[in-house]
Amino acid sequence: MSRELVLMRDLICQYHPEFVSSSDMRRCGLRRPDLFNVERLVEESLAATGGYNFVDADHYDFDDYSDSKVGSINLKTRKGQIGCVDGKIGALRITVYNPIRERLDYFFVPSRDLDYVRLPCYGKQMFRERIQFFWNQHSDHFNYFEDFRLPNFVELAQARDE
């Protein structure tokens, strides 16, 4: 199962206003998720569910200065990475696709913790920053990143930065 299909099935078709109100959109999204910009639809779903506006500005996506990121866990290494987190000024709302469990996990990193989670990149990306985490399949635990995990999409969308 693809990341786009799981995002469409478990998030976009459940929370995006246009998909919720149209069975044709849901059918098309589930049949052909590759036709859609699912990361943009995740952002719009967050805004609709969280009660803030999607603004797509430099260094933030929403008018509360938070930013949405979507990542995946690597099947072989169980490692996940969120790129391009340099310059972010507000909280991060992170959705992670887990291909082993075919599910989504949700993380909210408040702005006060950004320096704690950001790591430098190397090579061609040496002036960029990223977040890296590891998932343990046996314990279903995300090393240090577990502290930021939320139980569902609604809590992610409604989380507030302090």
Q: Three-class SS of residue 78? A: coil
The CATH number assigned to the domain holding 87 equals 3.40.1350
Question: How many other CB atoms are there within 10 angstroms of residue 41's CB atom?
Answer: 22
Please tell me the pTM assigned to this model: 0.94
Are 111 and 159 contacting, i.e. CB atoms less than 8 angstroms apart?
A: no
pLDDT value at residue 66: 98
The closest alpha carbon to 153, from 109, 93, 110, belongs to: 93
Residue with tokens 């391009």: 84
- Total domain count, the chain: 1
Gap between the Cα atoms of 76 and 83, Å rounded:
19
Structure confidence at residue 162 (pLDDT): 79
pLDDT of residue 1: 79
Give the pLDDT confidence score for residue 121 in this predicted structure.
62
> How high is the pLDDT of residue 116?
87
Domain that holds residue 112: 3-158
Contact residues for 113 (Cβ-Cβ < 8 A; gap 6+)? 148
Residuewise pLDDT in 10s, the chain (162 residues) = 799 999 999 999 999 999 999 999 999 999 999 999 999 999 999 999 999 999 999 999 999 999 999 999 999 999 999 998 998 999 999 999 999 999 999 999 999 999 888 766 677 766 678 899 999 999 999 999 999 999 999 999 999 997
Instruction: Identify the pLDDT of residue 126.
Output: 66
